[in-house]
Amino acid sequence: MKLTKERQGEAFIFIEASLWALFPILTIISYNKVSPLISLGISTIFATVFFAIVLTVKKKWHEITNTSAFKDILLTTLFIGIFYYLLYFFGLQYTSAGNASIITKIEIFFSYLLFNIWKKDNLPPKHIAGAVLMVIGALIVLYPNLHVFKLGDLLILAAAFFPPFGNFFARRAREKVSSETIMFYRSIISSAVIFLLIFIFKNTFSYSDLKDSFIVLLIIGVFLLGLSKILWIEGIMRISVVKANALGSISPLLTLLFAWIFLRDIPTHWQLLSLIPIFFGIILLGMNGKESTS
């Protein structure tokens, strides 16, 4: 049975969310040896190499000279590749993997404001209800800490403000060039900015530390900053960004599971309670409906 365009988009987002669930876990593990800037910089270099290989295999290097997409690529790089990742990586120093993964779901609210109110990117009522349930699930988990926000929570919350703008420009760029080209440019520009910051702030690292964290940084770069981002861009070309963000809310649940397995962070009863609205939110978002992705 041939998948519809909408079902393809949903599949891409679910796979991306499953991969992305490991992101805060592996990033925190990398901090055992290197600083956030070094972790982000090296991971982004690996992502750049990955996208260069993909461009070579798919014979799409000619898209590099397509100047019509430059402005949109630069803007998505600024909002996601630089602002979002810098705030996220530093935020993970001061909060848990579970908290970070859940707080970023506030991005659903920011996406709704941008795409549904400003850009008139309509969603059917059941999808809006599903998105609301996903946010309620996130708030249930966050509730016990609302009166004692940590620096890490605030940095992650600030980071969640930027992706909707980056996604908007990524979708515009994707109409002109492939996902691989967008991500190659985003990665190489981001890595240049990050290594400039490493030089300015004099972040140093030893060869032994880098060697010990090599595998973790490689996985982050290739699979999380690499493959998962191609899936994300292809997904939001088929379904709305708001729906994609809400469907991707399965990621915090998986992050809590992985944090329990790898970091020994036991889920709280608040986190388990949040599964109820999130479960029904996913069901509503999975229902077919007429949807604009313009």
> What does each C-alpha distance from 98 to 5, 81, 144, 145 come to in angstroms?
32, 22, 13, 12
pLDDT tens, 16-39?
999 999 999 999 999 999 999 999
Q: Tell me the two tokens of residue 251.
A: 């990621």
Torsion of CA 140, 144, 146, 151, to 10 degrees: -110
pLDDT of 120 reads 65
φ, ψ (nearest 5 deg) of residue 227? -55, -45
pLDDT of 290 reads 46
- Contact (Cβ atoms closer than 8 angstroms) between residue 132 and residue 284: no
**Distance separating alpha carbons of residues 283 and 238, to the nearest angstrom:** 18
Lowest mean pLDDT among 1-10, 112-121, 213-222: 112-121
pLDDT of 122 reads 67
Q: Which one, of 100, 83, 70, lies nearest residue 197 by Cα?
A: 83
pLDDT of 141 reads 73
Q: Return the DSSP state at 78.
A: I
pLDDT tens, 217-252?
999 999 999 999 999 999 999 988 778 877 887 888
Mean pLDDT in residue range 84-111? 87
**Distance separating alpha carbons of residues 215 and 220, to the nearest angstrom:** 9
pLDDT tens, 41-85?
999 999 999 999 999 999 999 999 999 999 999 999 999 999 999
**Distance separating alpha carbons of residues 177 and 221, to the nearest angstrom:** 22
Residue where the block lists tokens 């925190």:
28
pLDDT of 292 reads 41
pLDDT of 52 reads 97
Q: Tell me the two tokens of residue 96.
A: 């848990």
**Distance separating alpha carbons of residues 202 and 197, to the nearest angstrom:** 8
51 or 276: whose pLDDT is higher?
A: 51
Amino acid at 137: G
CB-CB neighbours of 136 under 10 Å: 15
pLDDT score of 177 more than 70: yes
pLDDT tens, 184-225?
999 999 999 999 999 998 888 788 888 899 999 999 999 999
pLDDT tens, 120-169?
666 678 877 877 887 787 778 777 766 666 788 889 989 999 999 999 99
Mean pLDDT in residue range 239-267? 85
pLDDT of 76 reads 97
pLDDT of 267 reads 82
Reported pTM: 0.85
Longest CA–CA separation in the chain, Å:
56
